[in-house]
Structure 1
Amino acid sequence: MIIGLSGYAGSGKDTVGKIIQWQKTRSDIALSSFELLSKQEQSYNWQIKKFAGPLRKVAAILLGMDEEFLHTDEFKQMVLPQPWNKLKVVFENDEHRNDAYSVVPMTGREFLQLLGTDAIRDGLHPNAWVNALMSEYRCLDAQKRASIGNVLDYSACKFPNWIITDMRFPNEMAAIKDRGGITIRVNRGKAINLHPSETAFDNAQFDFVIDNNGTIDDLINNVRTILNQLEYGKSTKAGTQQNGSSSTGN
């Protein structure tokens, strides 16, 4: 099963993902023990995944950097080494019109945007990053996997349990729904960054919506309510209000 999380930057998607992961492994989590969420377990029944994961793997290879470093704000804000400088065409009315071009440094954030969108998504295939991640969502039984190939036959095989914490585009939601997954919107305040990746789901319909404007205890309770409903088959269709959470779009 796949649970896809959506929300503006800073809404708490990663926190919700960690709560789901912990509660699916340790259902006895105490409301007052949020610190436990940061502790490392030997193994989890549910894995946290990101659509941006394959992008960062490719970027790490190209830049010769540690993949974990690419997740930090330090990387996003840093100026990349000189070989990655871009050449900007200069027009007649430009302040640098005496030059044929000007050299523009590239930040880590710009590198990820250009690689992820311009080079791969627009240049190669719109579903490139979705396909890259979903290529890992395979039947857990090697023999059955060989017999059914890439067919997503859930009755014939057991698939892994994933929590995808960076669902931002309709094709990403479609990939999750096509595999029998559910979607959760995490709301907290308004969007700060108006990049299309932050607003693409403003009018979308989700299986559940969490209002994350309360305490951490409230958030854990809301997540627990959703998981209980899923466990006992009591989830409702989109458009129906629920206690502590909602199955309606924003």
Structure 2
Amino acid sequence: MLIGLSGKKRVGKDTAGHYLELVHDFSRIAFADDLKKFAKKLGWNNQKDDRGRRFLQDLGMVARQYDSNIWANLAFQRILKIHRQTGQNDFVVTDMRFLNEVNRVKQEGGIVIRITREDEISDDTHASETELDTYTGFDYRVQSVKGDFNALYKQLDDIVRKERVRESSDASARV
């Protein structure tokens, strides 16, 4: 199973990914993993304060101008490598921010989930924070509540359970 998570910063995407990793044995991947490795080589101090976040956004966009799929391609190369080395079939991508990333997850047979939070306020107008605001093709939408992890976890459990049933039905239909 492949799940892609989308949402504004600080709504719980990494929390959701970590939960899927611990409870449902997913491997967690982020499109920005390779971006962060590159940024560290350029002197980034691993801080996601305003300055650090802007550096990552700018660096990511420069690379996307060269190849809009660069981060998705690198992430899926890692997914394929992990699958070949370990046999792992369940992956969660914790940082879908652009339409081409959503399309890639869907193209690879995955589902896409939008996480929102009731008290979500973002004044960040960078494309990486706004491009998917009007996207209507999410397979699921989940609501997180600040401090109430159990509500988020229950929604994720329900989605995984439903998708496992669907996968099982699809496999039976092919036999």
Which TM-score bucket, shorter chain as reference? 0.7 to 0.9
Once the two structures are TM-superposed, the CA of residue 22 in structure 1 deviates from its matched residue by 2.0
Q: Does residue 50 of structure 1 match 2:30?
A: yes
Q: Which residue of 2 aligns with 1:127?
A: 69
Conservation of the 8 A alpha-carbon contact between 2:115 and 2:143: yes
Distance verdict in 2 for CA 1:197–1:114, change over 3 Å: closer
2:130 maps to amino acid: T
Q: Distance in 2 between matches of 1:19 and 1:141?
A: 24
1:129-173 deviation per Cα after TM superposition (whole angstroms, max 9, x unaligned): 11111122327447xxxxxxxxxxxxxxx6642111110100001
Conservation of the 8 A alpha-carbon contact between 2:3 and 2:91: yes
Conservation of the 8 A alpha-carbon contact between 1:12 and 1:212: yes
Distance verdict in 2 for CA 1:198–1:114, change over 3 Å: closer
1:19 maps to amino acid: Y
Unaligned runs of 5+ in 1: 25-44, 78-106, 143-157, 235-250
Q: Which residue of 2 aligns with 1:10?
A: 10
Considering only CA atoms, is the larger Rg found in Structure 1 or Structure 2?
1
Report SS of the residue matched to 2:160. Answer: helix
> If the length of structure 2 is used for normalisation, what is the TM-score?
0.80
> If the length of structure 1 is used for normalisation, what is the TM-score?
0.58
Q: Which residue of 1 aligns with 2:91?
A: 162
* Matched positions, count: 161
Q: Which residue of 2 aligns with 1:177?
A: 106
Once the two structures are TM-superposed, the CA of residue 20 in structure 1 deviates from its matched residue by 1.6
Q: Which residue of 2 aligns with 1:136?
A: 78
Q: Distance in 1 between matches of 2:121 and 2:107?
A: 28
Q: Distance in 1 between matches of 2:55 and 2:151?
A: 38
